[in-house]
Amino acid sequence: GAVVSQHPSRVICKSGTSVKIECRSLDFQATTMFWYRQFPKQSLMLMATSNEGSKATYEQGVEKDKFLINHASLTLSTLTVTSAHPEDSSFYICSAGRADGPAEAFFGQGTRLTVV
């Protein structure tokens, strides 16, 4: 089946630094990928839709300058948390799907970000 790989799975960074999270579709081309954020014991909240070759579409309330999304190829989308602060600590997870394949969205393994 389709596989989405997300890296890193865990990262600890100092406040004020930037962190890049990668999301790769391993065996299919994903023109659209989605980035979600999940706080402890809560549901997944969509942050943005990443479109290959164009600007990402951000959900209301998500700072586009803080959460930079780049979808440079059909198999790779990156989320960069810029000038991270402790309140950015969260679980970030990406998903992608095949337009010509099964209905389900395939999720990466997720990245647990801790900002200290």
Partner 1 sequence: AQKITQTQPGMFVQEKEAVTLDCTYDTSDQSYGLFWYKQPSSGEMIFLIYQGSYDEQNATEGRYSLNFQKARKSANLVISASQLGDSAMYFCAMREGRGYSTLTFGKGTMLLVSP
Positions in the binding site for partner 1 (CB under 8 A) = 32, 34, 38, 42-44, 46, 49, 91, 93, 95, 97-99, 102-107, 109-110, 112
How far from chain centre, in Å, is Cα 37?
Answer: 8
* Of residues 49 and 80, the one with the C-beta less far from partner 1: 49
3-state secondary structure of 88: helix
Interstrand relation of 67-73 and 10-13 (parallel, antiparallel or unpaired): unpaired
- Minimum CB–partner distance for residue 106 and partner 1 (Å): 7
Backbone angles phi, psi at 50, to 5 degrees: -100, 120
* Of residues 67 and 97, the one with the C-beta less far from partner 1: 97
